[in-house]
Amino acid sequence: MIAVVDYGMGNLRSVQKALEKVGYTALVTNNPKQILNARSIVLPGVGAFKDCIYNLKRLNLVEPILNSIKIGKPFLGICLGLQILFTISEEFGETSGLNLIKGKVVRFSSKNTSTTTRLKIPHMGWNSITIRKDLPLFSGIEDGSFFYFVHSYYVIPDDEGVVATTTDYGIEFTSGIQQENIFACQFHPEKSQQIGLRLLKNFGKIS
Residues catalogued as catalytic = 79, 188, 190
Distance CA 6, CA 12 (A): 7
- 121 backbone dihedrals φ, ψ, rounded to 5°: -125, 125
Which of 14, 169, 144 lies closest to 78 in space, CA to CA? 14
Distance CA 3, CA 8 (A): 14
∠ at Cα 188 (185, 189), nearest 5°? 90
Q: H helices of the chain, where?
A: 12-21, 32-37, 49-58, 62-70, 80-83, 193-205
For the four alpha carbons of 90, 65, 126 and 140, in that order, the dihedral sign comes to positive
The three-class DSSP label of residue 77 is strand
